[in-house]
Structure formats: C-alpha cells, structure tokens
Structure 1
Amino acid sequence: MENQILQLTIAVLISSLIAINSYRKKSLDVSGAIAGFFVMTVHLSVNYRFGAMLLAFFFTSSKLTKMGEDRKRSIDADFKAGGQRNWIQVFSNSGIATILAIAFWKLKSSQDICLDSEESYIITSIVGGIIGHYSCSNGDTWSSELGVLSDEQPRLITTFKVVRRGTNGGITKAGLQAAAAAGFVIGLAYVLPGIFTKSCTNDAFLKQLLVLPLSALAGLTGSLIDSLLGATLQFSGFCSVRNKVVSKPGPTVKRISGLSILDNNGVNVASILLTSMLTSFACLYIF
C-alpha cells in the first residue's frame, strides 16, 4: 500500500511539472494540459513502463512537431505554432491506452509483469494493446512531421499518384522509415525500464526483446492504416485562395481525395484502435 501511495505521489508530481512546462512552451493549451496531467498520472501511477511509453511519444513527437515550422506553416492550413494540442487531441492519442492501463490496474494493481500469455492471457493482451497504441501514435506523428519535410514527393497510398504535400493519405519512403523508427523507440521505452522494475528468467528476459521489432512493425503498420483511412474517409482538397491543402470542402476548394466522414482525430482513434488490436493478438502469439 505504501509503495502504491509513493508511486501515485511521484506520478502526480512528474505529471504536474510536465503539464505546466508543456503549457508554457505551447505544446498544450489549457485543456490539453489538464487532460495531459490526468493521462500521465494514470499511466505513471499504474506502471512506470506505461508512463515511459507515453512520455517517449509525447516528448519526441512534440520535438519533431516544432521542426521546420516555417515550411509546415506554408503547407498546413491548420498549422499551430509549437503544435499546440487541446484535450480532444490528447485523448484521441492516449484515451484507449488510458482505458487499458486502468483495466491493467484493476487486474494486477501496480505490479509489473513479464509478457507471458501462459501466465496471464488477459494481461499480456492488455500490455500488447498499449505497446501497439503508442507505436501507432508515435509512428503516425513521426511519419507526418518528418515526411512533410522530405524533398521526396508524396504519393497517395490508394493510387500511388503524386499528390501535394499535406494531402491526407500521402506517403513517402522517408515517412514510412520514420514510422518504423518511432515504433522502435516505443519498444525501447517499454523494454529498458523493465530491466530495473521486473526480474524475469533468462529465457523470458531474452524473449521480451522481441518487443523491439514488434513495436517497429506496429509503428509502420499504424502509419499505413492511418494513411489508408486518411485517403479514403478524410477529405483533402486544394484551396485556390489560400493556396494550401485543406480538410474541408468549399466553393474555392478542388477535391483531391477522400470523403468527409472522419476528421484527423477520428482517423487517429480508428488507426490506433486497429493497431492496438493487431499488436495485442501478436503479443499473445509471440509471448
């Protein structure tokens, strides 16, 4: 009980500092900072490795979002300085993992585990889902933020035709490589803290390292799913007045691709859900 109180206290302190600092640096607005505080507190108080994955996603993505801002401003019609995120964006990128973390806590309290489906089928699937979640979120963000800065011309994932930068569903080799690298980083964020928080048998420990290629694949898969949904269910058009790709139809907008069914947050949630499920099943098979 004392350990749980200590872990909760540490979680609240770290989450408060990060939320306040992120608001000051315009990575989050007020609503985003409050939502971020809640999400980070849940992750860190349940399992330090969950918190490590969330923080790896948040810090790396925030850093990349601020790269090449001048170029992104000229392309992105919805550009915000610093990539400032609100509560909707926070929950769309971390809500499913937060629910899974709470489910983990209800079943295992704050105990750490070695991935082993024979020991616990449900827990292994939950942890796999969280790994898949942040691999997808990080993969999509890295792919988008670095892909748009690439000199390579993007191609629409459904037709492979060259499209304007900023088109939903546009992919580049650099973007796909970034997605895999982003997933690998999430795998590292899960595996490395486990060296200090959980003792596994030698065979089990070595098997945990399979999280690294699995998370890299999840990052790539999540990015591809996101691009496919963006190309088909999210509208992209070129505005002749603003001279930019926009996400809503209008009298001065010529359609490029997609239907006005999902917005960017909806695409994120759908791709995260699908990737989490796939990674969860993969963990049950592998571990």
Structure 2
Amino acid sequence: MQFLVKIMIGLFASTIISYIAYKKQALTLSGAIGAMILGTGIFFGSGLYGSFLIFVFFSTSTIFTFIKRNYKNEIEKQYEKSGGRDFYQVFANGGVGLLYSLLYSFTFNPMYLILIGVSFAASNADTWASELGVFSKSLPVSLRSFKKVPKGTSGAVSLFGILMSFLGSLLIAFSAIIIITIFQLNLNPFSYIEAFLLIILGGILGSMIDSILGATIQAVYYNENLKKETEKAFEEGKSNVLIRGYKLINNDFVNFTSILLATIIILLLCR
C-alpha cells in the first residue's frame, strides 16, 4: 500500500509541475512526459529529498533560460536543441539522480544521498555555466585549442562561467543539507560538512568533465550556408559536415556521461 501511495503522490505532483512547465514552453510534450516519469521515480526513491533538489535545479535553470531570451536566441542557433527541454534532455540531466534515488530506496545507504546531490549539483553547475556564462564580457576559451571562440561553443569556458558553475553547485549542496537537516536523514558516517563539500566538488567536477567531453568527443558540424560551426547534424533538411567528434555523441550523451562520471569519482574518493 505504501508503495502505491508514494507513486500516486509523486505522479500527482510531477504531473502538475510538468503541465505548468509545458504551458510555459519550458518543456516540450515529450519533455513533460519525461519529467512526469522522472519526478515520480525520484519521489518514490528518495522522497522529498530528491524531489526538492530536482525542483531547485529545474526551477532555477528554467528562470535563467528565459533571461534575455532574444540575446540568447542568436547564440543558441548553433546548439543541437533550443527552446523547451525534450524527453532526452530531461533524462540526460535527471536520469543519474533517478538511478541513485532508486538504489537508495532499496538500501537506505547514506552514500546514495550524497550521490543524488552530486548528480543534481553537476546538472545545475553545467546549466548555470551555459545559461549565465554567455553574459561574460570576455569570449570563452576552447579547451581543445586554448583559443578564444564564440560564446555558446561546446567545450569552451570563461572565468564568469566557472563562477556561475560554482554557484550552481553551491545552491544544490546547500539545498541538500537543508532537507537532510529538516528530515533528519541518516548521513552516518559522513558529517554535514563532508556531505556539503562532496556535493559541491562533485558538481564542479561534472561541469568540468562536460566541458572536456564537449571539446573533444562531442559531434561538431560545419554549416556551409551559415559558414559557422554548429551542434546540429541537419539544418533545414540538409546535412551538415562533421568536422570533429563522433556522430553518436551529442549534447545529451555528454550531459548524462559527465554527471555519471562525477558521481563515480566522488564514490571512489569516499571509498
């Protein structure tokens, strides 16, 4: 019975939030369906802890997405996807958190609480770096060529973007400790400070790994008509030319992989 109640509560809450996000065009229809599945699974697995973290991540990233939208539209023309998040983007950012939430529901191992925090800290750090980093006064530097490149280029970083990445990770770590404290969740053998620092570190690592993968193995194409690089394999029905990276490795793959690797590194550090 408790199993069914948790699923129903999670589904009800995630449906309302997903519907609102869909109406505000923060999610596509497939993204709304994905968010319902993700939200239900996370609430079932880690309760209000995981649900609150994904809410903080999604709400802040959505708000920042719409800041100076017209300015960002020009930059985002080179992105593989723009506009509302679709099903794949939702799970690329939240799928790792769902995995650890489900593991926590079966084991109640405190390590998984930290890894859930790390997963959303990494998502938030990368999103803040992307959404707010474009407002940097200086051009970002490519981690592949170490030369200045246009804003929005995958695998490029700026000091302002790194700062936003840190703040995004900090917010999730702070939110995690608040919920752990309020509901007195068992963290033994970790202290609150240790959990706090591990989540921040994991978030920053995730964002760094994302940039490195974006600069090295993510597929980047060249659009002959626009005479510029893009993440899009196709533009107006025409194929763009692959100039580096691998076709199967897109931004969603990079996001999911960087988050997963960040959690694995933190897990290994703790062991």
Q: TM-score, normalised by structure 1?
A: 0.82
CA displacement at 1:240 relative to structure 2: 5.6
CA contact (8 A) 1:183 1:215 kept: yes
Instruction: Flag the 1:159–1:245 CA change in 2: closer, same or farther, 3 A.
Output: closer
1:14 counterpart residue number: 13
Deviation at 1:254, TM superposition (A): 8.3
SS at 2:191 equivalent: helix
Higher mean Cα deviation, 263-272 or 43-52? 43-52
Whichever residue aligns with residue 195 of structure 2, its letter is V
Q: Residue 225 of structure 2 aligns with which residue?
A: 241
Cα deviation for residue 243 of structure 1 reads 5.6
Q: Is the 8 A contact 2:26 2:83 kept in 1?
A: yes
1:158 is paired with a residue whose SS is coil
For residues 63-212 of structure 1, the aligned pairs below 5 Å read 63-77=63-77, 83-108=83-108, 123-198=109-184, 207-212=191-196
The separation in 2 between residues aligned to 1:43 and 1:59, in whole angstroms, is 16
> Are the aligned partners of 1:136 and 1:183 in contact in 2 as well (CA < 8 Å)?
yes
Structure 2: state its 5+ residue gaps.
Answer: none
Gapped regions of structure 1 (runs ≥ 5): 109-122
Aligned length: 267
Deviation track 1:16-57 (CA, whole Å, cap 9, x = no partner) reads 210110110011111111110111112123321111111111
Contact kept in structure 2, 1:68 and 1:149, CA below 8 Å: no
**Percent of paired sites with the same residue:** 27
> In structure 2, what residue type is equivalent to 1:218?
G
Aligned partner letter, 1:15: S
2:15/2:36 contact within 8 Å kept? yes
Q: Out of 218, 229, 233, which is 2:202 matched to?
A: 218
CA deviation string 1:82-133 (max 9, x = no partner): 830111111111112212211221224xxxxxxxxxxxxxx23322322221
Work out the CA distance in 1 between the residues paired with 2:164 and 2:198. Answer: 15
Q: Which residue pairs with 1:268 in the alignment?
A: 255
Q: What is the one-letter code of the residue matched to 1:207?
A: S
Per the alignment, residue 57 of structure 1 pairs with 57
Instruction: Please report how far the alpha carbon of residue 212 of structure 1 lies from its aligned counterpart in structure 2 after TM superposition.
Output: 2.6
Supply the AA of the counterpart residue of 2:14.
S
CA distance in 1, matches of 2:21, 2:76: 22
Of residues 263, 267, 270, the one that matches 1:280 is 267
Question: TM-score normalised to the size of structure 2?
Answer: 0.86
Structure 1, 157-166 or 253-262: larger mean CA deviation: 253-262
